Amino acid sequence: MKTLPFDSVKVTSGYLFGKQELNRKTTIYSVYDRFEETGRFGSLDFNYDKNDPNSVQPHIFWDSDIAKWVESVAYIIKNDPDYDRELEARADKIIAKIKKNQWDDGYFNIYFSVVEPEKRFTNRDWHELYCAGHLMEAAIAYDDATGKRDLLDCMEKYADLIYRIFVEEKSAEFVTPGHPEIELALIKMYLYTGKKKYLDLSEFFINNRGISDEINNNNIFQSHKPVREQDEAAGHSVRAMYLYTGMAMLAKQIGDESLLNACRNLWDDTVLRKMYVTGGIGSTNLGEAFTVPFDLPNDQAYTETCAGIGLMLFSNAMLAFENNARYADVIERVLYNGVLSGLSLDGKSFFYENPLEINLRDHFTNAFGGKRFPITQRLECFSCSCCPPNITRILPTLGNYIYGIDGETFYINQFVSSEAEFDGVYCKVSTEYPLNGRVTVSVKGTKKVAVRIPEWCDNFSLNKDFSFENGYAVIDNDGEDIVIDLDMTPKIVYADPRISSDAGKVCVMRGPIVYCAEGVDNGEFLHSFILPREIDATETFSEEFGLITLEVPCRKRLPFEGGLYSSFKPQTEKTALKMIPYNCFANRGETDMVVWFCMDK
């Protein structure tokens, strides 16, 4: 299917609309302020002096942080005709500095221009091409939103230089980028400008990966195998997702079945063997990477926010090939859980990592170089602050994930109150999802409507006759409202027995939302709670969270008296466990948190 672009979709109300508004009114400014304070924007003046101890040396990836902020502004402008003109003025100022300091031959990189200009295109892992890719995405977005071509002109000149250096002259000291990203950006450049050399350059980087580089040719750099031979998600999880997305986009453009088959295998391995219940991926801080199948520790989970966003991008690219709801299911899972957990409720602070368990006592070992645990509170900025501007650019583009069209069939991939107009088709969806499961759909201009039936949904009702195809209820469109009710009764979810971290444990979901319990609501020793096989939860709407909270009747094991060990079965008492949406954890101070609980026998 062709997924509809976000500028054809207007999100009108509901939970995700609230997140977009939070981003537009608060988050985009907060990220700007932190980047200003840390010297990121100031580095564009190219005034670093290594002999001045007070001069701030730019980092190798600051270009990408700046680019993603500009790209985010472009999307906000595109979405909102009443946008704050001050945002545009700030972006214009940034772009003017980029234009001023671009080399005559088209080169642009802050670090290599002011710190080591003699070493450009010599270090595969120092993010030159990664930064270039993000600058290209920003350039496309800004020209599309404002009609101002300056940044696009700069990036076309830069892309032309990269083509000459890597393809024609072969004068760089490496062949493919250590951190993939430019591959997907170049395809966007090709689609936006029509210049095929950008598609060819993307194909060059993808085809040479795992073949041509002798430095850093391991899986952290996604260079352990040629891409068509890769069948296991390995190495740095964000790099993997960006590469796989580029591979899928390239396969679509050139009709490469072998590349598509590799993408299918990599997506399957990611989702079926290495994904958390929250949709998070990348289970270790060592290389921010995948490990082995079913190794999904909860307390040390890395599950970087950017990796979750990358999985959304990859899954959406796969929807372009296969009208299969499983890709939209994963997008929903990771968005509502593993991505939105990266943003605080006030929109000002962020998680880089998103663990599924916090036990404050365990963090004692951090001080002595033992096990490494993720931080327990969000921060407003990081030394490596890739996640905040990734959130600011994904939220205004959520419309990219809602609808699709293939011939005479219109697809409802996500349930969001919204309106869409595209190629003579009009669609309106009204819903309070995910507060409840009722969704009303009206489509004009196509013969059929395909509504996704989520994988989490065991029961639903639909007011039309339908056939079931690849996870979609396919309906002959008579122009009348389609009403679907998805049963969102809270339920127990089991983990595959091969996941040792979750052995004998269960978690709770309501609709697409994964739930957790925090010490601030339930006291210490959360592992003492035992959940029944079936739950009868009390549901309450929380104004603070904007979602439903649960109170789950259960039992709690009582501590022993007189010693730590006993041959007698622990005594239990009846109680209730207060549970909140996982994406809301760590918003009320430092506290324990658990997703997976022991199950009653």
What does the DSSP assignment read for 114-181?
A: HT-GGGTT--TTS-HHHHHHHHHHHHHHHHHHH---HHHHHHHHHHHHHHIIIIII--SS-SS-SS--
CA-only gyration radius of the chain, Å: 24
In the prediction, which pLDDT does 49 show? 94
Quick one: pLDDT at residue 385? 77
- What does DSSP assign to residue 23? I
Rounded to 5°, the CA angle 395-542-345 comes to 35
CA dihedral for 278, 282, 285, 291, sign (positive or negative):
positive
DSSP structure class, residue 336: I
CB atoms within 10 A of CB 89: 10
| Strand partners of residue 541 | 548
Dihedral over Cα of 322, 325, 331, 334: its sign: negative
- Residue 223: exposed, middle, or buried by beta-carbon count in 10 A (0-12, 13-18, 19+)? buried
- One of 154, 263, 381, 386 is an active-site residue; which one? 386
Q: Which residues, including other chains, have CB under 8 Å from residue 361's CB and lie 6 or more apart?
A: none
CA–CA gap between residue 550 and residue 559 (Å, rounded): 25
Q: Are 187 and 246 in contact (CB under 8 A)?
A: yes
Question: Can you tell me the distance from the alpha carbon of 316 to that of 249, in angstroms, rounded to the nearest whole number?
Answer: 10
- Give pLDDT, residue 221: 84
Phi and psi dihedrals of 219, rounded to 5? -75, -20
CATH topology of domain 404-486: Maltose phosphorylase, domain 3 (2.60.420)
Cis, bond preceding 180 (omega within 30 deg of 0):
no
Q: Is 288 a catalytic residue?
A: yes
Q: What is the DSSP letter of 419?
A: E
- pLDDT value, residue 369: 53
Q: Which residues of the chain are modeled with pLDDT < 50?
A: 367-368
Q: Domains of the chain: which residue ranges?
A: 404-486, 491-599
| 8 A C-beta contact, residue 52 and residue 46 | no
Side-chain half-sphere exposure of 302, counting CA atoms within 13 A = 22
Q: Report the C-alpha dihedral over residues 154, 157, 158, 161, rounded to 10 degrees.
A: -170
386 is a catalytic site residue: yes
Of the listed 181, 288, 332, 357, which one is catalytic?
288
CB 512 within 8 A of CB 487: no
State the chain's maximal CA–CA distance in angstroms: 79
pLDDT score, position 380: 72
The pTM (predicted TM-score) of the whole model is: 0.97
CB atoms < 10 A from the CB of 7, how many?
A: 16
**Amino acid, single-letter form, for residue 495:** A
108, 428 contact by CB (below 8 A): no
